[in-house]
Chains A and B, each alone.
Chain A
Amino acid sequence: MRFTKDHEWVVLEGDTATIGITAYAAEQLGDVVFVETPEVGKTFQAGDAFAVVESVKAASDVYAPIAGEVVEANPELTEAPETVNASPESGGWFAKVRVADPAQYEGLMDRDAYEAFLATL
C-alpha cells in the first residue's frame, strides 16, 4: 500500500489500482455521511479531484493519487458511507482504476514514510 500527502492510499495489483482515503483522514473528517464516487470510464491525471467525501463537518475533494481510467466504483459507499469510518483502508475503498503508468505508484510514499509524514503534522 502506498500513500499521498493528501491522505489517499493506493494498492496496485497488475495494472489495477484500488484507491481510498487513509484511516488518519477518516478519523479527521469525523462521521462520513456521503461519498460521491467517480463514474466508471472517466480518466484522471494524478492530482485531479476525482471523488468527494462529506462528513457532518465538511465536504472534501479526494485527489487521484495515480493517473488512469476508472473501472469500478465501490457501490457499498452509496448505501453505507459509514464504511469509510469503519474500515477506511479495506472495505471503504472508493474506486478501482486501470493505471496508465505503474511507475507513478513507485513514486508514492510507503507506510513508514507516510507515518513519518503524519508525525510532522
Chain B
Amino acid sequence: MSMNTVGRPTRPEGAAGPAGFASLTGGRGLLQDEPLIFELGGWDKTGVDLPEPEADASDLAGLVREDLPLPGLSEPEAVRHYVRLSQKNHAIDLALYPLGSCTMKHNPRLNEKAARLAGFADLHPLQPASTIQGALALMDRLAHWLKTLTGMPAVALSPKAGAHGELCGLLCIKAAHEAAGQGHRRKVLVPTSAHGTNPATAAFVGYAVTEIAQTDDGRVDLADLEAKLGPDVAAIMVTNPNTCGLFERDVLEIARLTHAAGAYFYCDGANFNAIVGRVRPGDLGVDAMHINLHKTFSTPHGGGGPGAGPVVLSEALAPFAPAPWVLSAADGFQLLEEPTGDAAQAFGRLCAFHGQMGMFVRAYAYMLSHGSDGLRQVAEDAVLNANYVKARLSDVMSPAFPDGPCMHEALFDDAWLEGTGVTTLDVAKAMIDEGFHPMTMYFPLVVHGAMLIEPTETESKAELDRFCETLRALAAAARQGQAERFKGAPFLAPLRRLDETLAARRPKLAWRPEPATVAPAPSAAE
C-alpha cells in the first residue's frame, strides 16, 4: 500500500489553552476589534464615484468653506467596518429580547420590501395631490384600521414617536379646554408607575404634575384619584395595560370620575399590543391615546428609532388635531396643510411634513398580513406567553403581583435575591452571558429592583422554555452562592461592564485627533 500521511488532524488536541488567553490583536475571533472610521485613514479617499462639476463656485466667493476634515472609505472597507460593528449588537433576530414595555417582536421583511417600493420611498412630500393619490389612500386606510381597532372617531398621524404622540394628545386637550373657556385647568394627574415621558410631556406643555397613588395590587388608587380630581385638573394620563403589566380593572370608573370632573382621559397606548383586537380603548372612555407603531404594529426599532406615534382622538378632541389632515373628496384625496377650513381649530403643526410615511407602509402591511383575526391572536399569544413565563418562574423568582393574571408582561421584584449578594443589575448582566438580552430593569419605579419581562407573541414555546430554564438555572446559581458568576458579568460579551461614571464625568462625545498625530504647522520661516 502507498500510505499518504500528509494532512491535518481532524479532532481537537491540546484543548486546554493557556489560562487567561487573550488574542494578540485584541479581538475575540470573529469579533474583530474595529477602530473608528477616523482611525482607518482615508482622509483623502472617497467611496463614491462622482462626475467633475461642470461649473465652479465663483458666484459664492467668500461663502465657501476651506476644509471638511472627514475620512472616506472605499466600498469594501465601508462594508467591513459596518458588518464588524453589527456583530457586536444583540437583536430580536438573534434571540428573545424581553425588554418590558418596549415590545421587541419580529419585524417581517415583507414590510421592509413594501416600504422600499419606489411609489412610496421615492415620493416627495410636496408633490401635487394628483401624483400622490396612492400615498394619501394608504394614510387614509391606515387611519381607518387604527380608528376601527381603537373604536375612536379620529386619528392624528403626524407624531413621529410615542413621546411626540403624548405631546400631540396633551396639546389637543389644552386647545379643547381653552376653546371651552377652561384654560385655567393647569394640572395633570399621573400614576406613580407611569413612563417617564408622561410627566415630562405634561411639564413640557406647562402643566403641573400631581402623582396618583397606587394600590397594593398595582392599580390606580380610585380614592386618591377622586380626591385629586377637581376644577383645576386638565387631564389624567394613565397607561392601560399599565407599566406593571396589569389591566386597570376600574378603568370605566376612572373614566367616569375624570369626565365628571371635566377633565380628559389620556391613555398611554404603549401597551396596546396586549389588547389589540380584543378591547377597544374607545369603549373604555379614553379621549386620546397614542399608538406606538414600532410596538403594536412591529415597525423595526432600528437601534433606537425611527418610531411613529399616531394619536387616536375622541369626537371632542378631533377638531384640534394638528395639520396636516388627509381629506377624502369626490375627486380623490387632498392634504389640508394649514389650520384653515375644516382644520381651523388645529392646534398647530408637529413636524415639517406628514409624519413617518415609511412606518405607515410597514404598519399597514403588518395589519393586512394579520387581519382582524390575526391581530386578536397577537394579543392573545402575547398575554399567554407572558403568563406562561410568570407561571414557570414564580417558584424561583418573586412576582411583584402574584395574584391573578398579568397582561403582556410579567413583573418581578428582587425579593428572591435577598441574601445572595446579587442585584437586579447583576442578573441582567449574567443573562447576557447566556445569550439573552436582559429584561427591563428598575422600571417601573414602584417595584423594588424591578425586572419587567415582555416576551411578545413572537416567541415559540421552545424558545420560552429555553429562556425560563436559563433564568431558573441563574436563580439556582444565585442561591448556591455563585455570586461571582453575576458580579463580574458579562464575561462573554464583546465588552465587559462599562464605566458610565467616567463617561458622565469626563464627557468625550466626539473623536478628536490625538495632539501627537497632528502634523506640526509649517513654521513661518519656511
Contacts and interface: CB of A to CB of B under 8 A. Distances in A.
Nearest to B505: A33
A34 interface: yes
A56 interface: yes
A66 B319 CA distance: 50
B283 interface: no
A88 interface: no
Nearest to B504: A33
Determine chain A's interface SS by DSSP, over half rule: loop
Contacts of A82: 505
Sort chain A's interface into a size bin: under 10
B49 interface: no
A9 to B, nearest CB: 23
A69 B307 CA distance: 47
B501 interface: yes
A110 interface: no
B500 interface: yes
A39 B504 CA distance: 23
A31 interface: yes
A81 interface: yes
Interface in B453-508: 500-501, 504-505
Contacts of B500: 56
Contacts of B504: 31, 33-34, 54, 56
A56 B504 CA distance: 7
Nearest to B506: A33
Interface string B200-229: 000000000000000000000000000000
A48 B479 CA distance: 48
A27 B500 CA distance: 17
Contacts of A31: 501, 504-505
Interface string A68-106: 000000000000011000000000000000000000000
Interface in B370-408: none
A40 B321 CA distance: 46
Contacts of B501: 31, 33, 56
14 contacts: A31-B501, A31-B504, A31-B505, A33-B501, A33-B504, A33-B505, A34-B504, A34-B505, A54-B504, A56-B500, A56-B501, A56-B504, A81-B505, A82-B505
Given A54-B504, A56-B500, 12 more contacts: A31-B501, A31-B504, A31-B505, A33-B501, A33-B504, A33-B505, A34-B504, A34-B505, A56-B501, A56-B504, A81-B505, A82-B505
Interface of B: 500-501, 504-505
Closest 9 CB pairs of A and B: A33-B504, A31-B501, A33-B505, A56-B500, A56-B501, A56-B504, A81-B505, A33-B501, A82-B505
